[in-house]
Amino acid sequence: MNDRRRFLAQAALSAGALAIPRGWASDPSDPRADAGARVVSTWDFGVGANQAAWKHLSTGASALDAVEQGARWAESELCNPTVGRCGNPDRDGVLTLDASIMDGDGRCGAVAAIEDIDHPISVARLVMEKTPHVMLVGEGAQQFAMAQGFRKRRLLTPEAEQAWREWRARAEYQPQINAERSVRPGNKDNHDTLGMLAIDRNGRLAGACTTSGMAWKMHGRVGDSPIVGAGLYVDNEVGAATASGVGEEMIRNAASFLVVELMRQGRAPADACREAIERVVRKRPEASKSLQVCFLALNRHGEVGAFALHAGFEYAVCDAKKQDVLHASGSIYGGGA
């Protein structure tokens, strides 16, 4: 990390949230309100996704278009074992992908456990726009994608297949092998999600979430990422939230919805994320010690905050003034990352 980045990361840490200049994003009709546009993403790889989204956001595209483009970048370009085409498969060696998209007016779409389709986020958007439904799963999601012009293609990379073979040789077919390897489930070494939130120059919010889910999960397992309210929630009146980590905890706590509702009650984004994390701990104190859960929030004023159970969570922020800046977050166990 260079000095500028370190300074900004430390400033964000001590403030608990990224401070926005007064009046920033407050007047969407101001032609200079381009400065009000901002995109944030989970993890350090969010930097690339943010850049892809920013190309659109900075030229006046809607937050919805921007987050779709950012998520598409992660699905095809990132090539990381936790998102999109390079993701690790489930315990049967099958790569299944989950994604959701939502705008601040409550329009949303999702796909879960979809196979052999390279841009689940765009399928999710089409579910939102072209069907009376919110979520399609498995074969039905794939059939819908193909009817919309997507082509089936085998996504499992030789590297992911090899990793799965190695895991299976050691794992006796247990989905939680990561715990045996003393790697905390939900940390970025074994599973992450690209969760992206954006506000556009008109003050509209949107979010996208895309993942291959927990590596070596049971076939048919669906995490939080495609579940509206768990892995993603957006409301123009308040703000938006997304999550990464062990999705079962987000589902149990309707976590992204919870973060948005806490912001509605007046919490700053970082405080809302912290309180939601505390809720996770209260529900399952023992389990919380050994798994990772991370929340990222953006309010309607463009303020950003994040919090995690354990140290190590990073997120990326991009706007007209700065790009590619990584901000460490606070955590319950381990303080600042």
Q: Cα angle at 306 between 309 and 97, to 5 degrees?
A: 80
Candidates 25-33, 123-131, 191-199, 257-265: pick the segment binding ligand ASP (CB under 6 A). Answer: 191-199
For ligand ASP, the binding residue among 41, 122, 178, 211 (CB under 6 A) is: 211
Q: How far is CA 210 from CA 1, 42, 193, 207, 213, in A?
A: 27, 11, 6, 10, 9
Between 33 and 160, CB nearer to ligand ASP: 160
Between 246 and 332, CB nearer to ligand ASP: 246
Between 25 and 86, CB nearer to ligand ASP: 86
Question: Is 193 labeled as catalytic in the residue annotation?
Answer: yes
- The percent helix, strand, coil of the chain (3-state, each to 5) is 35, 25, 40
d(CA 319, CA 215): 32
d(CA 56, CA 39): 11
For ligand ASP, the binding residue among 229, 247, 269, 330 (CB under 6 A) is: 247
Q: How far is the CB of 310 from ligand ASP (least distance, A)?
A: 13
Residue 213 within binding range of ligand ASP, rule CB under 6 A: yes
Residue 186 within binding range of ligand ASP, rule CB under 6 A: yes
Binding to ligand ASP, residues 4-23 (CB under 6 A): none
Binding to ligand ASP, residues 138-157 (CB under 6 A): none
State whether the Cα torsion 276-281-284-289 is positive or negative. Answer: positive
Choice among 42, 96, 193, 210 that is catalytic: 193
DSSP 210: E
For ligand ASP, the binding residue among 184, 191, 204, 274 (CB under 6 A) is: 191
Q: How far is CA 77 from CA 83, 238, 294, in A?
A: 10, 32, 23
Residue 249 within binding range of ligand ASP, rule CB under 6 A: no
Amino acid at 65: D
Binding residues vs ligand ASP (CB under 6 A): 186, 191-193, 211, 213-214, 223-225, 244-247
**Catalytic residue positions?**
193
